[in-house]
Amino acid sequence: MAELRRCTRCVLPETHETITFDTEGVCNICRQQEYKQTQIDWAAKKKELDLLIAAHRDKSDYDCIIPFSGGKDSTWTLYYLVKEYGLRPLVVRFDHGFLRPNVIENTRRTLRKLGVDFHHFTPNWKVVQKLMLQTFLEKGDFCWHCHAGIFAYPMWVALRYNVPLVMWGEPSSEYTAYYSYDQPEEVDEKRFNRYVNLGITAQDMLVRLEGAGESVVDERDLKPFTYPPLKELRKIHYRSVCLGSYIPWDVKRQVRIIQEELGWSEDQVENVPPGYGYEKIECYMQGVRDYIKFIKRGYTRPSHLASLDIRNHRMTREEAVALIQKYEGKRPPSLDLFLEYVGLSEEEFVQIALSHVVSPYEHDPLKVLPGEKLHDFDLWSRQGAMPRKEAEVQLNRWRQRNAQAGVTNDKGAP
């Protein structure tokens, strides 16, 4: 890790999105946490939340929409709003296609214990495959379909049921500096376009996927990934906010409560250290996402987790450095599944990821070690592999565009 400059307080490196360092070498994410811990009047924020909820209670069939993955943050948000305020929410899940067995069971337990209505939507798998491959090619990030769907689809549900209040979990300033704790953060179209959709709208994607393989993608297929028209949302006087903007977000404390009160169960995640069994347990492609991030930026989830613990005075920086050296950067067994889903070889996968490396990080594939298979790996679906000839259509287009633009790198991509 000597080649990357890192925050002198936490362990986030210079390749972290939105990061800057001050004259003491402390990153802006750490400074945001200082502001959160010392400058915000949380009692006043709680009163703002009281007023917001009072203004929306009993105004339609549901008091609010709660987007829900079944992970720690959305489960805590649902638990808190039902227990603290007695709300009647509509819980909305956008199924990204990779839900793990433990999360499905956690969800069933949570919904039954809290007694709430549940809306579950799963988009067309053939479309999802094409979206995964296309954004991996263009951005080195195959999760566009997930993030765009998770943040756009619940807003369509809000319109359909005429429920103006949408309550999300943690604010983005916990992890990045797209917003800081001293700025108002609404989960709106501005935020969606600022970083959720990677600069690619669903309309852009429609053009990119035209004629991509035998399965035709049309505008209706992409509606779940499209942010609803602002004029329609304004008609219902919508508010879309983070619960963590009104109460101090403390993941470990919240996890303890949902474990005790709801029986919410932890799980293992590829290349995530012991002691963090609450982190990103809802997706069996999480290991691949983290591995791509390591190839591109030279760090991954353990750096985030250790940095949070440092800021909350639960870990020393020396302990954090040892942790990330032990766990980061291993090849996840789930990569085999991902390659089947998008029709790529591993050599192609590495070439594509290397074409998105963030300077000054330089990745060396020869130093990568194998990661361990998870306990439920054999239960993950093998259905829905992308035919190679369909993948080649998108892959060849990407290569041709890069060749025309003169894009290349020293690792052989495009």
Could you tell me if 213 and 306 lie in one domain?
A: no
End-to-end CA distance of the chain: 27
Q: Which residues of the chain have pLDDT under 70?
A: 1-2, 212-215, 407-414
pLDDT value at residue 71: 97
> pLDDT by residue (tens digit) across 275-328?
999 999 999 999 999 999 999 999 999 999 999 999 999 999 999 999 999 999
Check whether residue 240 and residue 273 sit in a common domain.
no
Residues 282 and 197 in one domain: no
Same domain, 285 and 241: no
Handedness of CA 244, 250, 320, 139 (dihedral sign): negative
Neighbouring C-beta atoms of residue 201, cutoff 10 Å: 17
Token pair in block for residue 183: 């700025």
Burial of 380 (0-12, 13-18, 19+ CB in 10 A): middle
CA distances from 67 to 110, 275, 375 (A): 14, 26, 28
pLDDT at residue 409 in the model: 52
As for how many domains the chain has, the answer is: 2
| Shared-domain flag, residues 179 and 52 | yes
Q: Which residue has the tokens 């004029």?
A: 231
Q: What is the pTM of this model?
A: 0.95
Cβ(191)–Cβ(166) below 8 Å: no
Note whether residue 260 is domain-resident: no
Domain boundaries, position 325: 267-396
Q: At residue 363, what are phi and psi to the nearest 5 degrees?
A: -85, 140
- Let me know whether 94 and 189 are in one domain: yes
Cα–Cα dist 254/275, whole Å: 15
In a domain, 402, yes or no: no
Domain match, 392 and 337 both: yes
What count of Cα atoms within 13 Å lies in the side-chain half-sphere of residue 380?
Answer: 24
CA distances from 129 to 135, 202, 217, 341, 368 (A): 10, 15, 11, 7, 27
Give the whole-angstrom CA distance, residue 340 versus residue 363.
Answer: 24
Residue 73 in domain: yes
Q: Are residues 332 and 189 in the same domain?
A: no
pLDDT tens digit string along 349-394?
999 999 999 999 999 999 999 999 999 999 999 999 999 999 999 9
What residues are paired with 165 via a beta bridge?
239
Q: Give the whole-angstrom CA distance, residue 253 versus residue 352.
A: 39
Whether residues 234 and 94 share a domain: the answer is yes
Residues 228 and 317 in one domain: no
Confirm whether 355 is domain-assigned: yes
Tokens of 397: 């287009």
Residues 278 and 341 in one domain: yes
Domain boundary among 184, 211, 245: 245
Say if 20 falls within a structural domain.
no
Look at residue 411 in the predicted model and tell me its pLDDT.
47
DSSP string, 386-407: PPHHHHHHHHHHHHHHHHHHT-
Give domain status of residue 27, yes or no.
Answer: no
What pLDDT does 159 receive?
Answer: 98
> Within a domain: residue 113?
yes
Q: Are residues 236 and 304 in the same domain?
A: no
